[in-house]
């Protein structure tokens, strides 16, 4: 069992792609236990073995972000074996391939469920265990830019997303409205066929809302969202131009932002991006 005084970093979807590269980077940069979590035990353990051949020493932990039972068991192991978390990287995510012939209703529900609702279930379950001065990195995407909702800056959905009083629940209810619209084949105010972009718009917006909420939390927890860039992984069918290690650079930066640094912001290419005002 680990001493509760030792640092603990957690990465979701750590078995491959950007997540595996973030685990690698944390093993090199973070003094403490690095938990490589994955939903599939075999894939998670092989990823740990791969990193061991590089002289690194992550620990495998099972975590399927779509399973409340898996999240609860993971939380119990954190309480019992580690005592708390210093870094949480919400990296796990999915994207249907462009060529996918799945119905849009399925794509929208499954994508939002994983990339938004499950990601927040993990965050909120683990939040009570985040230690003083800890960091949360939300792996979002450049597709979270507001122009992907609408080019019109006065568009009602854009207006709700940039509302400075928008709460986490407000973002979730907006995205539930989107899912109802998809169920009803009603695209009067929603873009068609871009559930992945909308899931990431919601992640960037919800990061802002959580950042505002955490400003009143005495633990000084810092949360920021980021885009890893266009990375050569299974998700991009290996078309991305960055290596996974290059894609991990900005997410890793989010794990070490100084305590008086940004909160609730969105970063790309290692720089803060003015998500509210840019297109
Ligand atoms: N690659 C890019 O260019 C790019 C650009 C912008 C943003 N991103 C974001 O970066 C993150 C990582 O993407 P990637 O390119 O590395 O994708 P990837 O190679 O497809 O890896 C995705 C990871 O998420 C895991 N995952 C999916 N559903 C999960 C679940 N229910 N529970 C636990 N793990 C789950 C996958 O596990 P399995 O192996 O079990 O499926 C895998 O480990 C995603 O959030 C993605 O949206 C990527």
Most ligand 1 atoms within 8 A of CB, residue of 62, 94, 207 to mutate: 94
Distance 95 CA to ligand 1 centre (A): 8
Q: Give the per-residue pLDDT at 81.
A: 97
State the closest ligand 1 atom to the C-alpha of 21, by its place in the atom list counted from 1: 16
pLDDT band at 6 (very low <50, low <70, confident <90, very high): confident
Q: Choose between 102 and 1: higher pLDDT.
A: 102
pLDDT tens, 35-56? 999 999 999 999 999 999 999 9
Most ligand 1 atoms within 8 A of CB, residue of 10, 18, 113, 116 to mutate: 18
Residue 258's alpha-carbon distances to 135, 147, 210, 224, 266, in angstroms, are: 10, 30, 18, 12, 15
State the closest ligand 1 atom to the C-alpha of 232, by its place in the atom list counted from 1: 1
Q: Give the per-residue pLDDT at 221.
A: 97
Distance 231 CA to ligand 1 centre (A): 11
Q: Which residues line ligand 1 (CB under 6 A)?
A: 12-13, 15-19, 38-40, 43, 64-66, 91-95, 114, 139, 141, 227-228, 230-231, 233-236, 240
* Domain assignments of the chain as residue spans, ordered by start: 8-142+206-263
State the closest ligand 1 atom to the C-alpha of 115, by its place in the atom list counted from 1: 45
pLDDT tens, 109-166? 999 999 999 999 999 999 999 999 999 999 999 999 999 999 999 999 999 999 999 9
pLDDT exceeds 80 at position 87: yes
Distance 20 CA to ligand 1 centre (A): 10
CATH code for the part of the protein at 8-142+206-263: 3.40.50.720
- What does pLDDT average to over the chain? 96
Share of the chain above pLDDT 90, in %: 94
Residues noted as catalytic = 196
pLDDT tens, 196-222? 999 999 999 999 999 999 999 999 999
């Amino acid at each position: 069992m680990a001493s509760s005084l030792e640092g603990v970093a957690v990465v979701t979807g750590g078995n491959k792609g950007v997540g595996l590269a973030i685990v690698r980077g944390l093993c090199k940069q973070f003094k403490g236990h690095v938990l490589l979590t994955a939903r599939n035990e075999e894939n998670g353990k092989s990823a740990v073995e791969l990193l061991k051949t590089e002289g690194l020493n992550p620990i495998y932990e099972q975590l399927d972000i779509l399973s409340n039972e898996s999240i609860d068991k993971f939380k119990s192991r954190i309480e019992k074996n580690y005592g708390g978390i210093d870094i949480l990287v919400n990296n796990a995510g999915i994207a249907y391939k462009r060529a996918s012939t799945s119905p849009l209703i399925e794509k929208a529900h499954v994508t939002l469920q994983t990339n938004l609702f499950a990601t927040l279930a993990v965050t909120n379950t683990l939040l009570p265990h985040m230690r003083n001065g800890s960091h949360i990195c939300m792996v979002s995407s450049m597709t979270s830019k507001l122009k992907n909702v609408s080019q019109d800056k006065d568009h009602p959905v854009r207006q709700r997303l940039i509302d400075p009083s928008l709460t986490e629940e407000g973002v979730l209810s907006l995205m539930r409205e989107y899912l109802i619209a998809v169920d009803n084949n009603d695209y009067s105010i929603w873009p068609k066929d871009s559930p992945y972009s909308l899931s990431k718009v919601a992640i960037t917006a919800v990061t802002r809302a959580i950042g505002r909420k955490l400003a009143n939390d005495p633990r000084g927890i810092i949360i920021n969202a980021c885009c890893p860039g266009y990375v050569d992984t299974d998700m991009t069918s290996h078309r991305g131009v960055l290596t996974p290690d290059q894609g991990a650079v900005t997410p890793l930066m989010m794990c070490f932002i100084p305590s008086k640094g940004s909160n609730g912001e969105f970063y790309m290419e290692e720089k803060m991006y003015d998500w509210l005002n840019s297109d």
